[in-house]
Amino acid sequence: MDILSLYPAWLIEHGAALLVILPLLLGAISSVLPRERIAWFVTLFVSLVLTITAFGLLLTIFGGETQLYKLGGWDPPHGISFVIDGLNTPVIFLISSMALLCCFYGLPSVAAEVEPKKRAPFYAAFLVGVAGLLGMVVTGDAFNVFVFLEVSSISTYVLVAMGASRDRRALAAAYNYLILGSIGATFFVIGLGFLYMETGTLNMADIGNILRDLDGGSRVSMVAFGFITVGLGLKLAMFPLHMWLPGAYAHAPSFVTIFLASTATKAALYLMLRFTFTIFDPSFDYVLAVVTYILTGLGVAAMLFASLQAIFQTDARRTLAFSSIAQVGYMLLGIGIATAAGLSAAYLHLLNHAVIKGALFICLGAFWYRYGITRIEDFAGLGKMMPWTMGAFTLAGLSLIGVPATAGFVSKLNLVEAAMAKEWYWAATVIVVTSVLAIFYIGRMLLAAYFQSPPEIDGEIVAKNEAPLMMLIPMWFLVLLSIAIGINADLVSQAARGAAAVLLGGGA
Protein backbone atom coordinates (compact mmCIF):
# COMPACT_ATOMS: atom_id res chain seq x y z
CA MET A 1 0.00 0.00 0.00
CA ASP A 2 1.23 3.49 -0.86
CA ILE A 3 1.35 5.27 2.51
CA LEU A 4 1.65 8.65 0.84
CA SER A 5 -1.79 8.17 -0.75
CA LEU A 6 -3.30 8.28 2.76
CA TYR A 7 -2.11 11.85 3.23
CA PRO A 8 -4.46 14.68 2.24
CA ALA A 9 -3.03 16.68 -0.66
CA TRP A 10 -3.18 19.96 1.28
CA LEU A 11 -1.00 18.57 4.07
CA ILE A 12 1.80 17.67 1.67
CA GLU A 13 1.37 20.91 -0.28
CA HIS A 14 1.46 23.17 2.78
CA GLY A 15 3.45 20.90 5.08
CA ALA A 16 6.62 23.02 4.90
CA ALA A 17 4.80 26.06 6.29
CA LEU A 18 2.85 24.03 8.85
CA LEU A 19 6.11 22.78 10.36
CA VAL A 20 6.95 26.30 11.52
CA ILE A 21 3.59 28.00 11.98
CA LEU A 22 1.88 25.34 14.13
CA PRO A 23 4.46 25.16 16.96
CA LEU A 24 4.89 28.95 16.96
CA LEU A 25 1.15 29.61 17.33
CA LEU A 26 0.40 26.89 19.85
CA GLY A 27 3.62 27.65 21.72
CA ALA A 28 2.32 31.16 22.36
CA ILE A 29 -1.02 29.76 23.51
CA SER A 30 0.65 27.18 25.79
CA SER A 31 2.43 29.92 27.72
CA VAL A 32 -0.85 31.18 29.21
CA LEU A 33 -2.58 27.86 29.81
CA PRO A 34 -3.72 27.45 33.44
CA ARG A 35 -2.57 23.85 33.94
CA GLU A 36 0.66 22.13 32.93
CA ARG A 37 -1.15 18.90 31.93
CA ILE A 38 -3.10 20.85 29.27
CA ALA A 39 0.18 22.37 28.05
CA TRP A 40 1.65 18.88 27.84
CA PHE A 41 -1.29 17.61 25.76
CA VAL A 42 -0.93 20.61 23.41
CA THR A 43 2.80 19.88 23.05
CA LEU A 44 2.11 16.20 22.40
CA PHE A 45 -0.52 17.07 19.78
CA VAL A 46 1.81 19.50 17.99
CA SER A 47 4.72 17.04 18.04
CA LEU A 48 2.49 14.26 16.66
CA VAL A 49 1.24 16.47 13.80
CA LEU A 50 4.79 17.60 13.02
CA THR A 51 6.04 14.01 12.94
CA ILE A 52 3.22 12.85 10.66
CA THR A 53 3.79 15.83 8.34
CA ALA A 54 7.56 15.34 8.28
CA PHE A 55 7.12 11.64 7.47
CA GLY A 56 4.87 12.50 4.54
CA LEU A 57 7.44 14.99 3.22
CA LEU A 58 10.13 12.34 3.66
CA LEU A 59 8.12 9.91 1.53
CA THR A 60 7.86 12.52 -1.24
CA ILE A 61 11.65 12.90 -1.21
CA PHE A 62 12.15 9.15 -1.40
CA GLY A 63 9.80 9.30 -4.38
CA GLY A 64 12.22 11.63 -6.14
CA GLU A 65 10.34 14.92 -5.69
CA THR A 66 11.42 18.27 -4.25
CA GLN A 67 9.26 21.17 -3.11
CA LEU A 68 9.63 24.94 -3.24
CA TYR A 69 7.00 26.55 -1.03
CA LYS A 70 6.52 30.25 -1.81
CA LEU A 71 5.32 32.18 1.21
CA GLY A 72 2.62 34.62 0.21
CA GLY A 73 2.86 33.43 -3.40
CA TRP A 74 5.93 35.61 -4.04
CA ASP A 75 8.52 34.01 -6.32
CA PRO A 76 12.09 33.81 -5.05
CA PRO A 77 14.57 35.48 -4.90
CA HIS A 78 12.32 38.44 -4.03
CA GLY A 79 9.94 36.36 -1.91
CA ILE A 80 10.80 34.04 0.97
CA SER A 81 10.68 30.35 0.15
CA PHE A 82 10.78 27.09 2.09
CA VAL A 83 12.68 24.21 0.49
CA ILE A 84 12.02 20.49 0.88
CA ASP A 85 14.78 18.33 -0.58
CA GLY A 86 16.93 15.31 0.15
CA LEU A 87 19.32 17.27 2.34
CA ASN A 88 16.97 18.77 4.91
CA THR A 89 13.95 16.43 5.01
CA PRO A 90 15.61 13.64 7.07
CA VAL A 91 16.73 16.30 9.58
CA ILE A 92 13.18 17.70 9.67
CA PHE A 93 11.85 14.22 10.45
CA LEU A 94 14.57 13.73 13.07
CA ILE A 95 13.67 16.95 14.90
CA SER A 96 9.94 16.26 14.78
CA SER A 97 10.16 12.63 15.90
CA MET A 98 12.58 13.41 18.73
CA ALA A 99 10.21 16.14 19.92
CA LEU A 100 7.44 13.53 20.04
CA LEU A 101 9.55 11.01 21.96
CA CYS A 102 10.67 13.71 24.39
CA CYS A 103 7.01 14.52 25.08
CA PHE A 104 6.37 10.99 26.34
CA TYR A 105 9.49 11.12 28.47
CA GLY A 106 8.70 14.63 29.67
CA LEU A 107 5.42 13.92 31.46
CA PRO A 108 7.08 12.45 34.59
CA SER A 109 10.45 14.17 34.06
CA VAL A 110 9.26 17.78 33.84
CA ALA A 111 7.01 17.25 36.88
CA ALA A 112 10.09 16.15 38.85
CA GLU A 113 12.58 18.75 37.63
CA VAL A 114 10.67 21.98 36.89
CA GLU A 115 8.75 24.15 39.39
CA PRO A 116 4.95 23.84 39.01
CA LYS A 117 4.39 27.48 38.01
CA LYS A 118 7.04 27.21 35.28
CA ARG A 119 5.83 24.01 33.61
CA ALA A 120 3.36 25.54 31.14
CA PRO A 121 5.93 28.20 30.08
CA PHE A 122 8.48 25.36 29.84
CA TYR A 123 6.37 23.55 27.23
CA ALA A 124 5.72 26.86 25.45
CA ALA A 125 9.47 27.57 25.22
CA PHE A 126 10.01 24.03 23.97
CA LEU A 127 7.51 24.46 21.13
CA VAL A 128 9.09 27.77 20.15
CA GLY A 129 12.49 26.07 20.14
CA VAL A 130 11.15 23.29 17.91
CA ALA A 131 9.73 25.91 15.53
CA GLY A 132 13.10 27.66 15.42
CA LEU A 133 15.00 24.48 14.63
CA LEU A 134 12.55 23.43 11.93
CA GLY A 135 12.52 26.95 10.48
CA MET A 136 16.30 27.17 10.14
CA VAL A 137 16.35 23.77 8.43
CA VAL A 138 13.44 24.35 6.03
CA THR A 139 13.98 27.97 4.97
CA GLY A 140 15.56 28.88 1.66
CA ASP A 141 16.35 32.45 2.74
CA ALA A 142 19.74 33.12 4.35
CA PHE A 143 18.57 35.92 6.65
CA ASN A 144 15.66 33.80 7.85
CA VAL A 145 18.22 31.18 8.83
CA PHE A 146 19.60 33.77 11.24
CA VAL A 147 16.11 34.68 12.49
CA PHE A 148 15.13 31.08 13.20
CA LEU A 149 18.58 30.37 14.64
CA GLU A 150 17.96 33.09 17.20
CA VAL A 151 14.41 31.88 17.88
CA SER A 152 15.67 28.40 18.71
CA SER A 153 18.67 29.70 20.68
CA ILE A 154 16.75 32.14 22.89
CA SER A 155 14.16 29.51 23.80
CA THR A 156 16.97 27.06 24.55
CA TYR A 157 18.68 29.50 26.92
CA VAL A 158 15.39 29.71 28.83
CA LEU A 159 14.94 25.94 28.89
CA VAL A 160 18.47 25.34 30.19
CA ALA A 161 17.99 27.96 32.92
CA MET A 162 14.83 26.19 34.12
CA GLY A 163 17.07 23.41 35.39
CA ALA A 164 17.92 25.71 38.30
CA SER A 165 15.15 24.15 40.42
CA ARG A 166 17.18 20.94 40.39
CA ASP A 167 20.72 22.37 40.11
CA ARG A 168 21.60 26.05 40.56
CA ARG A 169 24.54 25.60 38.21
CA ALA A 170 22.00 25.59 35.36
CA LEU A 171 21.87 29.39 35.63
CA ALA A 172 25.62 29.71 35.02
CA ALA A 173 25.41 27.16 32.20
CA ALA A 174 22.55 29.08 30.56
CA TYR A 175 24.46 32.37 30.87
CA ASN A 176 27.59 30.83 29.36
CA TYR A 177 25.48 29.36 26.55
CA LEU A 178 23.82 32.74 25.98
CA ILE A 179 27.14 34.63 25.70
CA LEU A 180 28.80 32.15 23.37
CA GLY A 181 25.60 31.63 21.37
CA SER A 182 25.27 35.38 20.89
CA ILE A 183 28.86 35.60 19.71
CA GLY A 184 28.18 32.79 17.23
CA ALA A 185 25.02 34.49 15.97
CA THR A 186 26.92 37.77 15.56
CA PHE A 187 29.62 36.11 13.49
CA PHE A 188 26.98 34.42 11.38
CA VAL A 189 24.97 37.57 10.63
CA ILE A 190 28.15 39.53 9.83
CA GLY A 191 28.98 36.82 7.30
CA LEU A 192 25.52 37.17 5.80
CA GLY A 193 26.09 40.91 5.51
CA PHE A 194 29.26 40.32 3.52
CA LEU A 195 27.40 37.81 1.33
CA TYR A 196 24.68 40.36 0.61
CA MET A 197 27.35 42.94 -0.19
CA GLU A 198 28.85 40.55 -2.74
CA THR A 199 25.69 39.15 -4.33
CA GLY A 200 22.86 41.60 -3.63
CA THR A 201 20.45 38.83 -2.61
CA LEU A 202 19.58 36.74 0.43
CA ASN A 203 17.95 33.78 -1.35
CA MET A 204 20.28 30.85 -0.72
CA ALA A 205 19.96 29.28 -4.17
CA ASP A 206 20.41 32.69 -5.80
CA ILE A 207 23.53 33.41 -3.75
CA GLY A 208 25.00 30.08 -4.83
CA ASN A 209 24.33 30.74 -8.52
CA ILE A 210 25.85 34.23 -8.37
CA LEU A 211 28.97 33.02 -6.53
CA ARG A 212 29.50 30.32 -9.15
CA ASP A 213 29.14 32.92 -11.93
CA LEU A 214 31.77 35.01 -10.10
CA ASP A 215 34.00 31.92 -9.71
CA GLY A 216 33.88 32.23 -5.94
CA GLY A 217 33.71 35.99 -5.75
CA SER A 218 36.18 38.43 -4.28
CA ARG A 219 37.80 38.69 -0.86
CA VAL A 220 34.40 39.76 0.43
CA SER A 221 33.13 36.22 -0.19
CA MET A 222 36.18 34.76 1.54
CA VAL A 223 35.56 36.89 4.62
CA ALA A 224 31.86 35.95 4.53
CA PHE A 225 32.69 32.25 4.47
CA GLY A 226 35.08 32.65 7.39
CA PHE A 227 32.54 34.47 9.56
CA ILE A 228 29.77 31.99 8.71
CA THR A 229 32.01 29.01 9.46
CA VAL A 230 33.00 30.38 12.88
CA GLY A 231 29.38 31.31 13.71
CA LEU A 232 28.03 27.89 12.82
CA GLY A 233 31.03 26.25 14.49
CA LEU A 234 29.98 27.81 17.79
CA LYS A 235 26.41 26.61 17.32
CA LEU A 236 27.41 23.01 16.54
CA ALA A 237 30.04 22.85 19.34
CA MET A 238 32.97 22.46 16.96
CA PHE A 239 36.25 22.05 18.83
CA PRO A 240 37.57 24.38 20.30
CA LEU A 241 34.32 26.42 20.25
CA HIS A 242 32.51 23.85 22.37
CA MET A 243 32.84 25.27 25.88
CA TRP A 244 29.11 25.98 26.26
CA LEU A 245 28.05 22.40 25.65
CA PRO A 246 29.25 20.36 28.70
CA GLY A 247 27.61 22.71 31.20
CA ALA A 248 24.38 23.00 29.23
CA TYR A 249 24.05 19.23 28.89
CA ALA A 250 25.01 18.52 32.50
CA HIS A 251 22.76 21.00 34.31
CA ALA A 252 19.71 21.50 32.07
CA PRO A 253 16.52 19.53 32.78
CA SER A 254 16.83 15.98 31.42
CA PHE A 255 14.09 16.69 28.87
CA VAL A 256 16.13 19.59 27.45
CA THR A 257 19.40 17.66 27.42
CA ILE A 258 17.84 14.81 25.45
CA PHE A 259 16.35 17.12 22.85
CA LEU A 260 19.48 19.27 22.53
CA ALA A 261 21.81 16.29 22.19
CA SER A 262 19.61 14.75 19.49
CA THR A 263 18.73 17.79 17.40
CA ALA A 264 20.39 21.16 18.07
CA THR A 265 23.94 20.38 16.98
CA LYS A 266 22.55 18.26 14.12
CA ALA A 267 20.56 21.21 12.74
CA ALA A 268 23.67 23.41 12.98
CA LEU A 269 25.73 20.77 11.17
CA TYR A 270 23.07 20.67 8.46
CA LEU A 271 23.55 24.43 7.99
CA MET A 272 27.32 23.92 7.78
CA LEU A 273 26.75 21.39 4.98
CA ARG A 274 24.20 23.60 3.22
CA PHE A 275 26.39 26.70 3.21
CA THR A 276 29.65 24.92 2.41
CA PHE A 277 28.44 22.81 -0.48
CA THR A 278 25.35 24.43 -2.01
CA ILE A 279 25.81 28.16 -1.37
CA PHE A 280 29.58 28.20 -1.51
CA ASP A 281 31.37 25.41 -3.36
CA PRO A 282 34.46 23.27 -2.62
CA SER A 283 35.65 24.10 -6.14
CA PHE A 284 36.46 27.57 -4.76
CA ASP A 285 40.05 27.49 -3.50
CA TYR A 286 39.32 29.16 -0.16
CA VAL A 287 36.42 26.79 0.57
CA LEU A 288 38.51 23.74 -0.31
CA ALA A 289 41.32 24.92 1.97
CA VAL A 290 38.94 25.42 4.91
CA VAL A 291 37.20 22.07 4.37
CA THR A 292 40.37 20.05 3.80
CA TYR A 293 42.62 21.51 6.46
CA ILE A 294 40.61 23.43 9.07
CA LEU A 295 37.42 21.36 9.37
CA THR A 296 39.32 18.10 9.07
CA GLY A 297 41.97 19.19 11.55
CA LEU A 298 39.47 20.44 14.11
CA GLY A 299 37.38 17.33 13.62
CA VAL A 300 40.31 15.04 14.35
CA ALA A 301 41.34 17.17 17.33
CA ALA A 302 37.80 16.90 18.71
CA MET A 303 37.77 13.15 18.26
CA LEU A 304 40.99 12.74 20.23
CA PHE A 305 40.89 15.43 22.90
CA ALA A 306 37.16 15.25 23.69
CA SER A 307 37.35 11.44 23.95
CA LEU A 308 40.27 11.77 26.37
CA GLN A 309 38.39 14.39 28.40
CA ALA A 310 35.36 12.09 28.56
CA ILE A 311 37.46 9.38 30.18
CA PHE A 312 38.39 11.57 33.14
CA GLN A 313 34.95 13.03 33.91
CA THR A 314 33.21 12.09 37.14
CA ASP A 315 29.74 13.26 36.09
CA ALA A 316 27.91 10.92 33.69
CA ARG A 317 26.23 13.76 31.77
CA ARG A 318 29.52 15.59 31.25
CA THR A 319 31.04 12.31 30.05
CA LEU A 320 28.39 11.99 27.36
CA ALA A 321 28.64 15.73 26.60
CA PHE A 322 32.33 15.42 25.75
CA SER A 323 31.46 12.29 23.81
CA SER A 324 29.04 14.41 21.74
CA ILE A 325 31.85 16.86 20.96
CA ALA A 326 33.95 13.94 19.78
CA GLN A 327 31.09 12.66 17.61
CA VAL A 328 30.78 16.09 15.98
CA GLY A 329 34.43 15.56 15.10
CA TYR A 330 33.52 12.36 13.24
CA MET A 331 30.99 14.31 11.19
CA LEU A 332 33.49 17.09 10.42
CA LEU A 333 35.99 14.47 9.29
CA GLY A 334 33.41 13.13 6.84
CA ILE A 335 32.86 16.66 5.54
CA GLY A 336 36.61 17.12 5.22
CA ILE A 337 36.89 13.99 3.08
CA ALA A 338 34.55 15.87 0.71
CA THR A 339 33.69 12.90 -1.50
CA ALA A 340 30.26 11.39 -2.03
CA ALA A 341 31.20 8.54 0.32
CA GLY A 342 32.58 10.92 2.96
CA LEU A 343 29.57 13.23 2.92
CA SER A 344 27.18 10.29 2.98
CA ALA A 345 29.04 8.82 5.97
CA ALA A 346 29.00 12.16 7.82
CA TYR A 347 25.27 12.56 7.25
CA LEU A 348 24.63 8.95 8.25
CA HIS A 349 26.50 9.53 11.50
CA LEU A 350 24.44 12.69 12.08
CA LEU A 351 21.24 10.63 12.01
CA ASN A 352 22.58 7.61 13.89
CA HIS A 353 24.25 9.63 16.62
CA ALA A 354 20.96 11.41 17.33
CA VAL A 355 19.31 8.03 17.96
CA ILE A 356 22.16 6.75 20.13
CA LYS A 357 22.71 9.84 22.25
CA GLY A 358 18.98 10.36 22.70
CA ALA A 359 18.69 6.87 24.19
CA LEU A 360 21.70 7.36 26.47
CA PHE A 361 20.48 10.66 27.89
CA ILE A 362 16.97 9.25 28.45
CA CYS A 363 18.59 6.51 30.54
CA LEU A 364 20.61 9.07 32.54
CA GLY A 365 17.42 11.04 33.13
CA ALA A 366 15.72 7.90 34.43
CA PHE A 367 18.64 7.20 36.79
CA TRP A 368 18.26 10.68 38.26
CA TYR A 369 14.46 10.39 38.41
CA ARG A 370 14.58 7.24 40.53
CA TYR A 371 17.73 7.63 42.61
CA GLY A 372 19.12 11.14 42.00
CA ILE A 373 22.18 9.63 40.31
CA THR A 374 24.46 11.84 38.22
CA ARG A 375 27.98 10.76 39.23
CA ILE A 376 29.60 7.69 37.71
CA GLU A 377 30.64 6.35 41.13
CA ASP A 378 26.94 6.17 42.05
CA PHE A 379 26.23 3.72 39.21
CA ALA A 380 27.14 0.89 41.59
CA GLY A 381 24.57 -1.89 41.34
CA LEU A 382 22.29 -0.13 38.82
CA GLY A 383 22.20 -3.33 36.78
CA LYS A 384 20.22 -4.91 39.63
CA MET A 385 18.29 -1.82 40.75
CA MET A 386 17.08 -0.75 37.27
CA PRO A 387 17.70 -3.74 34.95
CA TRP A 388 15.56 -2.57 32.02
CA THR A 389 16.96 0.94 32.03
CA MET A 390 20.54 -0.23 32.51
CA GLY A 391 20.04 -2.79 29.75
CA ALA A 392 18.98 -0.02 27.40
CA PHE A 393 21.96 2.10 28.48
CA THR A 394 24.29 -0.83 27.83
CA LEU A 395 23.02 -1.44 24.30
CA ALA A 396 23.10 2.27 23.47
CA GLY A 397 26.61 2.52 24.91
CA LEU A 398 27.78 -0.38 22.77
CA SER A 399 26.32 1.40 19.76
CA LEU A 400 28.25 4.56 20.66
CA ILE A 401 31.43 2.51 20.81
CA GLY A 402 30.66 0.99 17.42
CA VAL A 403 30.01 -2.67 18.19
CA PRO A 404 28.78 -4.64 15.13
CA ALA A 405 25.00 -4.90 14.60
CA THR A 406 24.46 -1.38 15.97
CA ALA A 407 23.91 2.00 14.30
CA GLY A 408 27.25 3.29 15.56
CA PHE A 409 29.10 0.49 13.79
CA VAL A 410 27.38 1.32 10.49
CA SER A 411 28.39 4.99 10.74
CA LYS A 412 32.00 4.33 11.67
CA LEU A 413 32.41 1.62 9.06
CA ASN A 414 31.20 4.01 6.37
CA LEU A 415 33.59 6.69 7.60
CA VAL A 416 36.52 4.26 7.58
CA GLU A 417 35.65 3.10 4.06
CA ALA A 418 35.40 6.72 2.84
CA ALA A 419 38.76 7.58 4.42
CA MET A 420 40.42 4.48 2.95
CA ALA A 421 38.98 5.23 -0.50
CA LYS A 422 40.69 8.64 -0.35
CA GLU A 423 43.85 6.99 0.98
CA TRP A 424 43.56 8.85 4.27
CA TYR A 425 44.82 5.87 6.24
CA TRP A 426 45.70 8.11 9.19
CA ALA A 427 42.05 9.18 9.42
CA ALA A 428 40.88 5.56 9.53
CA THR A 429 43.40 4.96 12.32
CA VAL A 430 42.06 7.91 14.32
CA ILE A 431 38.49 6.57 13.98
CA VAL A 432 39.58 3.19 15.35
CA VAL A 433 41.65 4.72 18.19
CA THR A 434 38.84 7.01 19.35
CA SER A 435 36.39 4.10 19.21
CA VAL A 436 38.71 2.27 21.59
CA LEU A 437 38.76 5.33 23.86
CA ALA A 438 34.95 5.14 23.94
CA ILE A 439 35.29 1.67 25.46
CA PHE A 440 36.99 3.25 28.47
CA TYR A 441 34.47 5.96 29.29
CA ILE A 442 31.41 3.79 28.59
CA GLY A 443 33.08 0.79 30.21
CA ARG A 444 33.60 2.68 33.50
CA MET A 445 29.85 3.09 33.87
CA LEU A 446 29.07 -0.48 32.87
CA LEU A 447 31.65 -1.91 35.28
CA ALA A 448 30.15 0.04 38.18
CA ALA A 449 26.60 -0.95 37.25
CA TYR A 450 27.18 -4.67 36.82
CA PHE A 451 30.22 -5.55 38.95
CA GLN A 452 29.68 -3.44 42.06
CA SER A 453 27.10 -4.09 44.76
CA PRO A 454 24.07 -1.85 45.17
CA PRO A 455 24.29 0.63 48.04
CA GLU A 456 22.79 -0.16 51.45
CA ILE A 457 20.51 1.98 53.62
CA ASP A 458 20.23 0.97 57.29
CA GLY A 459 21.88 -2.32 56.46
CA GLU A 460 19.44 -3.20 53.67
CA ILE A 461 20.24 -3.19 49.94
CA VAL A 462 18.36 -0.54 47.99
CA ALA A 463 15.30 -2.15 46.42
CA LYS A 464 14.73 -2.55 42.68
CA ASN A 465 12.81 0.42 41.32
CA GLU A 466 12.49 0.56 37.55
CA ALA A 467 11.88 3.71 35.48
CA PRO A 468 8.23 4.59 34.71
CA LEU A 469 6.68 3.29 31.51
CA MET A 470 6.58 6.78 29.96
CA MET A 471 10.38 6.78 30.10
CA LEU A 472 10.90 3.16 29.11
CA ILE A 473 8.87 3.47 25.88
CA PRO A 474 10.98 6.17 24.13
CA MET A 475 14.15 4.73 25.64
CA TRP A 476 13.67 1.25 24.23
CA PHE A 477 12.23 2.55 20.98
CA LEU A 478 15.52 4.36 20.28
CA VAL A 479 17.63 1.40 21.43
CA LEU A 480 15.75 -1.05 19.22
CA LEU A 481 15.94 1.43 16.34
CA SER A 482 19.71 1.57 16.78
CA ILE A 483 19.90 -2.22 16.58
CA ALA A 484 17.55 -2.28 13.59
CA ILE A 485 19.77 0.19 11.76
CA GLY A 486 22.80 -1.93 12.64
CA ILE A 487 21.16 -5.00 11.11
CA ASN A 488 19.67 -3.28 8.05
CA ALA A 489 20.67 0.32 7.34
CA ASP A 490 19.12 0.56 3.87
CA LEU A 491 16.66 3.36 4.67
CA VAL A 492 19.06 5.66 6.54
CA SER A 493 21.79 4.90 4.01
CA GLN A 494 19.40 5.86 1.22
CA ALA A 495 18.67 9.13 3.03
CA ALA A 496 22.39 9.79 3.49
CA ARG A 497 23.17 9.10 -0.17
CA GLY A 498 20.33 11.41 -1.20
CA ALA A 499 21.75 14.17 1.00
CA ALA A 500 25.24 13.68 -0.50
CA ALA A 501 23.71 13.89 -4.00
CA VAL A 502 22.17 17.27 -3.16
CA LEU A 503 25.44 18.52 -1.72
CA LEU A 504 27.39 17.51 -4.82
CA GLY A 505 24.73 18.77 -7.22
CA GLY A 506 23.68 15.31 -8.33
CA GLY A 507 19.94 15.27 -7.63
CA ALA A 508 17.12 15.73 -5.15
Q: Quick one: how far is CA 69 from the chain centroid?
A: 25
Determine which of 259-268, 362-371, 372-381 has the lowest per-residue pLDDT on average.
372-381
Categorize the per-residue pLDDT at 459 as very low, low, confident or very high, splitting at 50, 70 and 90.
Answer: low
pLDDT mean over 188-214: 90
The pLDDT of residue 457 is above 70: no
User: How buried is residue 182: exposed, middle or buried, by Cβ count under 10 Å (0-12/13-18/19+)?
Assistant: middle
CA separation, residue 174 to residues 243, 245, 347 (Å): 12, 10, 29
Q: Quick one: how far is CA 201 from the chain centroid?
A: 29
Categorize the per-residue pLDDT at 35 as very low, low, confident or very high, splitting at 50, 70 and 90.
Answer: confident
Reported as a single tens digit per residue, the pLDDT across 95-144 is 999 999 999 898 888 888 888 888 888 899 999 999 999 999 999 888 99
- The answer to whether 61 touches 36, Cβ cutoff 8 Å, is no
| Residue ranges of domains in the chain | 290-508
User: How buried is residue 124: exposed, middle or buried, by Cβ count under 10 Å (0-12/13-18/19+)?
Assistant: buried
Q: Whole-prediction pTM value?
A: 0.92
The pLDDT of residue 265 is above 60: yes
Q: Quick one: how far is CA 216 from the chain centroid?
A: 30
Give helix 142-161 / helix 204-213 axis angle, nearest 10°.
Answer: 130
- The answer to whether 489 touches 402, Cβ cutoff 8 Å, is no
Q: Which of 27-31, 34-38, 155-159 has the highest mean pLDDT?
A: 155-159
**Higher pLDDT, residue 126 or 218:** 126
- CA 174, CA 290: separation in Å to the nearest integer? 31
φ, ψ for residue 28, nearest 5 deg: -65, -40
| Host H or E run for residue 67 | strand 67-70
- CA 383, CA 118: separation in Å to the nearest integer? 34
Reported as a single tens digit per residue, the pLDDT across 371-380 is 888 888 888 8
